[in-house]
Amino acid sequence: MTAAIVGWAHSPFGRHESETVESLVVGVARGALAHAGIEAADVDEIYLGHFNAGFSAQDFTASLVLQADPALRFKRATRVENACATGSAAVHQGVRAIAAGAARVVLVVGVEKMTDTPGPQIGQNLLRASYLAEEGDIPAGFAGVFGRITEAYFQRFGDQSDALAAIAAKNHRNGVANPFAQMRKDLGYDFCRTESEKNPRVAGPLKRTDCSLVSDGAAAIVLADMPTALGMERAVAIRAASHVQDFLPMSRRDIVRFEGCGEAWTRALADARLTLDDLDLVETHDCFTIAELIEYEAMGLAAPGRGADVIRDGHSALGGRLPINPSGGLKSKGHPIGATGVSMHALCAMQLTGQAGDMQVKDAELAGLFNMGGTAVANYVSILQAVR
């Protein structure tokens, strides 16, 4: 363990017409430094996770973090991007900077401003995270890509619409307790399972309740080396941080297996000298409900094709064997691309320090998170443990 989270800040996710990328970044950067009790002058390095891909006219955004405090001027600042795993990519870069001895304190910010973009353009922007040479003409954008994955899974293992609806209902139920969530409404299983005017089919078997939300939002964490962290008010150690990159074309992989996700979990657990049974909760990347279902299998909770058992038997519910997405996940919380991975780290840190409020998993000591970019192309797993 070389680095720990010592402070964080999280904006509400949703539609924020009065906010800009800059104002979102500045707000959480100031909040995280204040929460950590660290002066801006003591920050050695800054990483900003910002996917953009056309959502914001302002590009080259790393230096916007400096607007949070004049003392950040002349600090090293780098923008990081790895599709929907952009936030975790930024966090892991911060961890590596500390492990290399290049920094003692790192400020990591994730941000996205998506809702100003017209709907068709949103789909085009997100589709850029697929392999355009083969997948660029799939209708319905990235939802269409995951619609294809869902169809392939159903063809191999049978119709799993009941399981997808149960995952959606679980995450919306959990999201009611999350003050940062975009949609704090318990929709219920029947609504999620039934195609209707309010829950229309979007792509393949996927309905609206199977798809994460278009969101604005930001989150920030402050990382410190362990000697520094142990002298502070709180310290949530990054016990393991694993990154696995897979082929971009779906045609080069067994797309219903998420092998990169599985490999990232295997490496992280080995590095942490833990098993899944040791974890008290997981935040996982449910950009679509089929993703969470396949991730159950990839992380080792179920055999291939048996992910539905996890949700049916209540293993992933609050109070179950391993609560998955007690925050409500991307499905309820929202998915501002660059902020998502940073948000996951902040939420897990809240859980492990007993500061998760109504979301709190009782006696949580170890948390895992999985953040992916594209169709399980960029795969990041972090395992966190409170040490102070």
User: Which residues does the annotation mark as catalytic?
Assistant: 84, 335
Tell me the residue type at 101. G
Report the alpha-carbon distance of residue 274 to residue 138 in Å, rounded: 40
Strand pairing class (216-225; 45-49): unpaired
3-class DSSP state of 34: helix
Report the alpha-carbon distance of residue 387 to residue 277 in Å, rounded: 20
| Cβ atoms 330, 245 nearer than 8 A | no
Dihedral over Cα of 212, 292, 336, 16: its sign: positive
CB atoms within 10 A of CB 39: 11
Compute CA distances 276 → 281, 364, 368, whole Å.
Answer: 9, 14, 9
* Side-chain half-sphere CA neighbours of 261 within 13 A: 30
Contacts of 276 (CB under 8 A, 6+ apart): 265, 269, 299, 300, 301, 322, 368
- Own/partner long-range contacts of 361-366 (Cβ < 8 Å, ≥24 apart): 361/280, 361/281, 361/318, 361/323, 361/326, 363/280, 364/280, 364/281, 365/280, 366/239, 366/274, 366/278, 366/279, 366/280
Provide the greatest CA pair distance for the chain.
58
- The strand order across the sheet containing 3-10 reads 76-80, 45-49, 105-113, 216-225, 3-10, 236-245, 378-386, 366-373, 281-284
| Count of helices and strands (H, E) across the chain | 13, 11
Degrees to nearest 5, angle at CA 114 with 113 and 116? 95
Degrees to nearest 5, angle at CA 282 with 276 and 288? 120
Token pair belonging to 261:
């996700």
What phi-psi label fits residue 320: left (phi over 0), alpha (psi between -120 and 50 degrees) or beta?
A: beta
